Amino acid sequence: MEAVFGLLLMLLGVSHGVETYCDGRQDGAQCYGALGGAVVLQLMDDASEIPRYEWRKGASVILSGRKNNIVTNTIKIRSTFIPSNGTLKINNLSRTDSGEYTLRLFNLNGRETGERTLKLSVEAPVSSVQLVSECLSQGQIWVSCSFEAVDSPKYMWTLDGHTLTDTELLSGSNETNIITLKQHVSGRLVCSVRNHISSVSKELMISVCRDHSLLTCGLLSVAAVVSFVGIGVYFKWKKIKYEKAEESAAPRRTEKSEDSSVTELRSLSD
Ligand SMILES: *[C@@H]1O[C@H](CO)[C@@H](O)[C@H](O)[C@H]1NC(C)=O
Ligand SMILES: *[C@@H]1O[C@H](CO)[C@@H](O)[C@H](O)[C@H]1NC(C)=O
């Protein structure tokens, strides 16, 4: 739940550093912070009601106080503790901040009245996801979803808003970063990568790979048509040339026939 809430807070979007929130008032709380970002830890309700408190990491005291007075804060440079609502905000988180912390509460007599632990995990947020697809020989589509340094990444794929089904997947699954889609698959493919502190998605329009072979087919037919037309034009040209040659030969024959008809007429008149 904390993680989800943290994620929501993060999505509300600080562009510079990721800020997460975690309720550490329950013993054993698991909190997540973003590397270089900030975490707001709710350690208690109202410190002004607590005679003495101490927050340790292992043997070292990080924070201690008496009611509204902060006695120790060893990470003062990058943190703020607000006694009135018991929240500690730690900025510029590093991996060394990860670990188990223990809060101990004492009464006026110095007796311990309560103790609870909190586990903080500092993770690198997801950044620059890349989505690449490639058509395979049989028309299947190979898709890879990659990203830079991420701790405990979880993937999710959707196609036109629904999770990928076995009828669409040839290899890989909804939880792997490389998948192969079957031949007929097309649509808006989204790869989401998330961890406890951030989430990034990238989308890609997938078109049927057969389109490529169709295109090749189309180009081939165009080429065929062009060459047929070419052959046609050549023969037409040859024919015209032949006819022209015939035309130039034809008049003489006509003259001859005229002559012969004249002869015939003459012979008739004779
Ligand atoms: C605690 O108090 C501070 C200062 O008034 C405020 O900024 C912060 O939002 C409060 N946090 C919670 C969890 O109430
Ligand atoms: C954050 O912490 C790192 C070391 O962990 C330090 O080098 C850097 O200067 C700090 N940045 C800020 C803004 O305090």
Q: Is 95 in the pocket of ligand 2 (CB under 6 A)?
A: no
Please choose, from the candidates 26, 22, 30, the residue with its C-alpha nearest in 3D space to the C-alpha of residue 89. Answer: 22
Instruction: Name the residue with the closest Cα to ligand 1, atom 7.
Output: 82
For 228: left if phi > 0, alpha if psi spans -120 to 50, otherwise beta; the answer is alpha
Distance, in Å, from the CA atom of 5 to the CA atom of 124, rounded to the nearest integer, reads: 17
Show the tokens assigned to 266: 């003459």
**pLDDT tens string 187-208:** 999 999 989 988 899 999 998 8
Predicted TM-score of the model (pTM): 0.66
Instruction: Name the residue with the closest Cα to ligand 2, atom 10.
Output: 92
What value, to the nearest 5°, has the Cα angle with vertex 90 and ends 86 and 95? 135
Q: Is 92 in the pocket of ligand 2 (CB under 6 A)?
A: yes
Pairing between β-strand 99-106 and β-strand 112-123 as defined by DSSP bridges: antiparallel
Per-residue confidence band for 252, with pLDDT thresholds at 50, 70 and 90: very low
Cα(47) to ligand 1 centroid in Å equals 13
Q: Which atom of ligand 1 is nearest to the CA of 85?
A: 1
What is the edge-to-edge ordering of all strands in the sheet holding 79-82?
Answer: 19-23, 38-42, 87-90, 79-82
How much is the pLDDT for 261? 35
**CA contacts within 13 A on the Cβ side of 227:** 5
User: Which has more confidence, 245 or 18?
Assistant: 18
How much is the pLDDT for 233? 60
Pairing between β-strand 29-34 and β-strand 112-123 as defined by DSSP bridges: parallel
Q: Is 98 in the pocket of ligand 2 (CB under 6 A)?
A: no
Per-residue confidence band for 269, with pLDDT thresholds at 50, 70 and 90: very low
In the chain, pLDDT over 70 holds for what percent of residues?
Answer: 71
Answer whether residue 213 shows pLDDT above 60.
Answer: no
Mean per-residue pLDDT of the chain: 81
**pLDDT tens string 22-63:** 999 999 999 999 999 999 999 999 999 899 999 999 999 999
Show the tokens assigned to 12: 């509300």
Q: Is 87 in the pocket of ligand 1 (CB under 6 A)?
A: yes
Per-residue confidence band for 150, with pLDDT thresholds at 50, 70 and 90: confident
